[in-house]
Amino acid sequence: MIRNLKESINIKDLSPKEIEKFITDNGLEPFRARQIGKWIYGKGVPSFDEMTDLSKDLREALKGAFSLGDSIELSEEQMSKDGTKKYLFRLSDGNQIESVLIPDKGRHTLCISSQVGCSLGCTFCLTGTVGRIRNLTPSEILDQYLLVNRINGGTVTNIVFMGMGEPLDNLDNLVRVLKTFTDPNYLALSPRRLTVSTSGLVPKMKELGDQISVNLAVSLNAPTDALRNEIMPINKRYPIKELIKASVKFPVPTRKTLMFEYVLLKGVNDSDKDAYDLGKLLSGINCKVNLIPFNESQPLPYRSPSRERVLGFQEILMSFGINVRIRKSRGRDILGACGQLAAEYPVRNTKKSRRANEAAV
């Protein structure tokens, strides 16, 4: 049973440092916080009463201050023909979010959501058509991983913040979650297995990089400001030059490479000229480019380019010495692929999507 948000703070909403502060504020030794972390995340106990190496007084104090249940509830699981699984979760206020588990050779990647909806309105993304409803709390973000990992026998190896929402638009909670994921006494995941995707909130990229080093995937999708302004309105605030400058400065983990994501939209950003412009833009930058043929979803107006067009685009980029991969589309039949998550919210036929429709025809 999930608790109402107003009832009490879920202890999973606190970062390891914040739990430690609670402990020291109560006059106890900091190592008690590490014990608590191990009980919650290592052993997954459902109540404070089971933390048997803590004093009764501390357990009572924890019970008085926090809750420790699941903050989200699984309402539906769907399996794609290709083995991808999509999970629909209900939140305590009735809102819904989705997470997608993508199994692959030797790695099981979980794509998690950071917001209900998204305000940034990228014209090729279903979540963007929902609009922003609210930020997820840290426990709601963490529980997507904890629940899916539990359901799948602890097999999740990698986490990408590419589900619903712009993670950097929920920066404080994102940082709390990343600290919990990476703390050796909490979830102890290597930062090399965590990837944050952003549409380009430039000042927040710096703020994130000042606090933690994880993989960064920048959703670029156009080689010029004129085109990017059309399909990603955020570009009007933070144009490409500023975005590239912030991206190359971001501290990715050792031996990891900055990634740029490029969704290929037929007749919009997939021409030879676009590929040459992109090659010139990224040439000399230590990066990888992931090409993502658009996953067609109603009511979005765009179409996916042909296989030949995608290969032609890749070849031009490679002629600039750029490392380019074509991302396999996974979970398309269950609307679990990139840009298809809307958690059953009604999507809006916005002015922008109508304009894009006209451009794509």
Q: Give the H/E segment covering residue 58.
A: helix 56-65
Q: How far is the CB of 163 from ligand SF4 (least distance, A)?
A: 8
Per the CB < 8 A criterion, the answer to whether 305 and 270 are in contact is yes
Q: How far is the CB of 18 from ligand SF4 (least distance, A)?
A: 27
Minimum CB distance to ligand SF4 smaller for 10 or for 99: 99
Q: Is 127 in the site for ligand SF4 (CB under 6 A)?
A: yes
The helix/strand/coil state of 101 is: strand
Which of 111, 118, 125, 338 is the catalytic position? 338
CA nearest 47: which of 55, 57, 39, 37? 39
Using the rule CB under 6 A, give the single segment among 4-12, 125-133, 291-299, 323-331 that binds ligand SF4.
125-133
The gap from C-alpha 83 to its chain's centroid, in whole angstroms, comes to 20
Q: Is 340 in the site for ligand SF4 (CB under 6 A)?
A: no
Per the CB < 8 A criterion, the answer to whether 339 and 125 are in contact is yes
Minimum CB distance to ligand SF4 smaller for 58 or for 258: 258
Per the CB < 8 A criterion, the answer to whether 169 and 199 are in contact is no
Question: Which x/- pattern, by CB under 6 A, does the window 161-190 give for ligand SF4?
Answer: ----xx------------------------
Q: How far is the CB of 241 from ligand SF4 (least distance, A)?
A: 20
Neighbours of 77 (CB within 10 A): 13
Question: Structure tokens of 285?
Answer: 């930058």
Q: Token match 């070849």: residue?
A: 315
Minimum CB distance to ligand SF4 smaller for 191 or for 339: 339
Return the residue nearest ligand SF4 (CB atom). 128
Q: Is 122 in the site for ligand SF4 (CB under 6 A)?
A: yes
Per the CB < 8 A criterion, the answer to whether 20 and 186 are in contact is no
Q: How far is the CB of 231 from ligand SF4 (least distance, A)?
A: 9
- The Cβ-side half-sphere exposure at 316, using a 13 Å CA radius, reads 19
Which of 98, 166, 230, 261 is the catalytic position? 98
Q: Is 265 in the site for ligand SF4 (CB under 6 A)?
A: no
CA torsion through residues 227, 230, 235, 239, sign: positive
Q: Is 20 in the site for ligand SF4 (CB under 6 A)?
A: no
* Catalytic residue status for 98: yes
Per the CB < 8 A criterion, the answer to whether 16 and 36 are in contact is no
Minimum CB distance to ligand SF4 smaller for 10 or for 123: 123
Please give the residues from 89 up to 118 whose contact with ligand SF4 meets the rule CB under 6 A: 118
Per the CB < 8 A criterion, the answer to whether 41 and 150 are in contact is no
* Catalytic residue status for 118: no
For ligand SF4, the binding residues (CB under 6 A) are: 118, 120-122, 125, 127-128, 165-166, 199, 219
Q: Which residues form the catalytic set?
A: 98, 338
